[in-house]
Structure 1
Amino acid sequence: MIEARYLTVDSCLSYVELAGSGPPVLLVHTAGQSGVQWRHTTGALAERGYRVIAPDLPGHGRSEPAPGGAVDDLGVYARWLRNLLDALEVHDPWIVGCSIGGKIALDLAARMADEARGVVAMAAEPMPGEISAAGLRRELEDVAAASRTDRTYLGTLAVVGRDVDPARAELIARMHRREDPEVSTSDLLGWAAHDLTDTLSSITCPARLVIGEDDLWVNSERARRAAEHLPDARCTVLPGIGHYPMEEIVDFPTVLDGWLGELAPTTSRSEVHA
């Protein structure tokens, strides 16, 4: 059973899905998307003994826009998530995110310090993203926005892993083309600017950085080096997978359950998941 709830967080009427009981797991979606990305994860993970929290960030999905409009600072999302957890009376969560959600997960883990149970950051690295901020700002102009839907569709197909079934890849791309261009572009501006390098030492909970081998947007070697600078972290590289592991991997809830179970100080710092 998945519960849908609206609540006001930071003056924003916000949507969140809740399921299960047990250790809490917060799921953070990618740029321009919503909690719908976790639709095949929420219920299945709850059945494995977790309390799952899958919100729509402000301006995404069913959540109303942030009071100041589209957000281009990922720190704003991290603070909002902290306040959401407080409003839901959630303590000691696992934090899981992908792409901007992965960066936000690392940011939130640093803010929560010993309060976080552990963090899984997929398709993300602590350093600023390798993307043109000037090009993204140009896309905010109407003249460049007319074909954004098609560019989102084709761009998503380009970063899905080679081992993903074509029909599944097509579904992922069609789901992604629903994005609001202003929101997703602002999210990516946040991705380009957000730098957690100086806060890595604050992430004291166990951490796993997960990178798809076919991800064109994240450099796996940079992610490996970042993991070496975290107090307790390891890096997992996924052969044949691209930028969206939770959508590309067929039985992702089982894989995530395994990652969470393995997040312990004695686990080796670098490994490859076949």
Structure 2
Amino acid sequence: METHRIETSQAAIAASDTGGSGPVLLMIHGNSSCRKVFRNQLEGTIGKAFRCIAIDLPGHGESSDAIDPERTYWMPGYADAAIEVMRALDIPKYAILGWSLGGHIGLEMLTRSASITGLMISGTPPFARSDESLGAGFKPSEHMSLAGQDALSEQNVSDYAHSTCGANAPFEPFLSDAVARTDGRARKLMFSRILAPESVDQQEIAVNSPVPLAIVNGEEDVFIDNDFIAALPYKNLWEGTVHRLPGIGHAPFWEAPSQFDPYLHRFISSL
């Protein structure tokens, strides 16, 4: 496993790279997490079969805070940073696995790069640019408000880390460390502009995706409305269905890699 530190116009980005000559998969984590959450895939059969590149978003993990927070800490800024990383690595074509915020970033990237061959999202409701749609895509949950909060108490950090990884998922200290490390401005600024007109209409691009769109969610995800996601009239939905993993929460690739990874392997292979 190789580690890169890539200077971009947004931030210095830390990335793990499994190497190899197989199809390339870019892995983008969620809000207040880090690339270590993809450890099971990076170190398992997925990392052996494909060249997996997992990045820490600006203001997260081992990446630096944003050079210009107003420019970077929202979906267009994150998308541009990820695209810069792949250009710096001289990778012309790649698929994306985006979890939660990472899935929203992946949808944003579809309008900004012709290099993407396919996108798998997990825990990511494709909402239209309206308060009504945003409210329909996300379910009220005990710790949802923390996702857009600048300063977090020690208890907030623990609560958010446990809820995002899944109530029944394995828990390791790095999950809390990632929340505590995250630049609080990243949470606040991203949520304050989540419906900004400069961002892509997430629902429109998901429904009309120019590349195969795979959706694999945990059935017991406390943050998203699976029925809302499944009801959208996708035109390029991989295998023609939104896959739901029973008994699994918000991070199925972390909680149940033995169940999630076959979907990911099959999707990348199909591209």
TM superposition score category, shorter chain reference: 0.7 to 0.9
Secondary structure, counterpart of 2:124 in structure 1: coil
More moved, 149-158 vs 235-244 = 149-158
Over 3 Å counting, the alpha-carbon distance change for 1:111 and 1:176 in structure 2 is same
CA distance in 2, matches of 1:87, 1:153: 35
Quote the Cα distance in structure 2 between the aligned partners of 1:105 and 1:173: 22
1:33-182 equivalences under 5 Å are 33-45=33-45, 47-69=47-69, 71-113=72-114, 115-127=115-127, 129-130=134-135, 139-140=149-150, 145=151, 147=153, 149-158=154-163, 161=166, 164=168, 168-169=170-171, 174=176, 177-180=179-182, 181-182=184-185
Partner of 1:124: helix, strand, or coil?
A: coil
Q: Distance in 2 between matches of 1:14 and 1:32?
A: 15
Matches within 5 A, 1:176-215: 177-180=179-182, 181-189=184-192, 191=194, 195-200=201-206, 203-215=209-221
Given the alignment of the two structures, is residue 247 of structure 1 paired with residue 254 of structure 2, yes or no? Answer: yes
- 2:2/2:16 contact within 8 Å kept: yes
Contact residue 57 and residue 63 of structure 1 kept, 8 A: yes
The CA distance in 2 between the partners of 1:254 and 1:67, in whole Å, is 38
Once the two structures are superposed, residues 212-270 of structure 1 have per-residue CA deviations (whole angstroms, 9 ceiling, x without a partner) of 111121111221133x2343443111111111112111434444213433x56xxxxxx
TM-score by length of 1: 0.78
Q: Per-residue CA shift, 1:29-68, capped at 9, x if unaligned?
A: 0101111111222132455321111111111111112211
Which structure 1 residue ranges, 5 or more long, are not aligned? Answer: 265-274
Give the distance between the partners of 2:227 and 2:214, measured in 1 at CA: 14
Count of matched residue positions in the alignment of Structure 1 and Structure 2: 250
Question: Quick one: which amino acid aligns to residue 231 of structure 1?
Answer: N
The residue identity in structure 2 corresponding to 1:178 is A
Q: Cα deviation per residue 1:83-124 (whole Å; 9 max; x = unaligned)?
A: 2111111122111010000111122134334x3221100000
Inter-partner Cα distance in structure 1 for 2:110 and 2:65: 24
Contact kept in structure 1, 2:41 and 2:257, CA below 8 Å: no
CA contact (8 A) 1:24 1:91 kept: no
User: Following the alignment from structure 1 to structure 2, what is the Cα–Cα distance between the partners of residues 138 and 78?
Assistant: 19
Which residue number corresponds to residue 267 of structure 1?
none
1:158 is displaced (CA, Å) by 3.9
**1:111-159: per-residue Cα shift (whole Å, max 9, x none)?**
334x322110000022164379xx679843xxxx352x31232244345
CA distance in 1, matches of 2:171, 2:194: 24
Correspondent of 1:260 among 237, 245, 268: 268
Q: How large is the Cα RMSD of the aligned pairs?
A: 2.9
Find the aligned partners of 2:38 and 2:268 in 1 and give their Cα distance: 16
Shift in alpha-carbon separation, 1:205–1:185, aligned structure 2, 3 A: same
In structure 2, how many angstroms separate the alpha carbons of the residues matched to 1:5 and 1:88?
9
Identity %: 22
Query: What amino acid is aligned across from residue 182 of structure 1 in structure 2?
Result: R
Residue equivalent to 2:131: none
